Amino acid sequence: MDGRSSALTKIGLGVLAFNSAWAVYNSWDDASSVLFVLVGDAALLLLFLCLREFDRVGRARGRNIKAAVWLLTTVLTVMFASRVAPLMPPVVSTVVWAMAVATPAGGFWAFFLSP
């Protein structure tokens, strides 16, 4: 990994940390919003670490890491759909949930079932 991508990674994590701290500060009175931010951040950080480890060990030994990546992305997809869908009209809410189901299903097929 070269210095530029490492610096870019640090900048991205810094922006994520600042944005998350600001979101927690602004929603301190709403425990569910604070929990949403904290769980989302934890999932994103774990996803980042899984991807780095997958890059390190390679495809041949990365099956368990692929499972963790799929699980974390599924959690994030469902989390965001659960926050967006209630704000939408019923038809659009149905589309949001359909996409939230189709995305992990397609990811499962791509990661584990396709040749």
pLDDT for residue 41: 94
Q: What is the number of domains present in the chain?
A: 1
Contact 42, 68 (CB under 8 A): no
pLDDT in tens, 21-68: 999 999 999 999 999 999 999 999 999 889 888 888 877 777 789 899
The more confident residue out of 12 and 89 is 89
CA distance 23 to 39: 13
Average pLDDT, the chain: 90
The more confident residue out of 102 and 64 is 102
The more confident residue out of 82 and 9 is 82
CA distance 107 to 64: 15
Q: Is the pLDDT of residue 2 over 60?
A: no
CA distance 20 to 74: 20
Q: Which domain holds residue 69?
A: 3-113
